[in-house]
Amino acid sequence: MKVYEVLASSRFLLATMNRNGVSADDIMYLDMFYEYRDMLAEGRKEAEIRDFLSNKHKLSASTIKRIIKRLNDEYKL
């Protein structure tokens, strides 16, 4: 499949992502976000979760916080 074919078939989704400032690169943080959400549901404190994920993924706690906030933003269609 050619690049233009992928873009054409995903045009609506990609345009909506672009309008909302969502980067396709954020997909690499999706599993981490699910892990964050599961740990939060278990009743763990946010600071504890950020520290754990920071060590696990070799990112700063502030980067983890920024990623979580970005992935948790409301999406406008």
Q: In the chain, where are the structural domains located?
A: 24-77
76 in Cβ contact with 19 (< 8 Å): yes
Whether 77 has a pLDDT exceeding 80, the answer reads: no
Whether 21 has a pLDDT exceeding 90, the answer reads: no
Determine the longest span between alpha carbons in the chain, in angstroms.
46
With a pLDDT cut of 90, the percent of the chain lying above it is: 86
Binning pLDDT at 50, 70 and 90, where does residue 30 land?
very high
CA distance 73 to 20: 9
CA distance 57 to 60: 9
pLDDT attached to residue 61: 93
Who has greater pLDDT, 59 or 21? 59
70 in Cβ contact with 45 (< 8 Å): no
Q: What is the pTM of this model?
A: 0.82
70 in Cβ contact with 63 (< 8 Å): no
pLDDT tens digits for range 41-68? 999 999 999 999 999 999 999 999 999 9
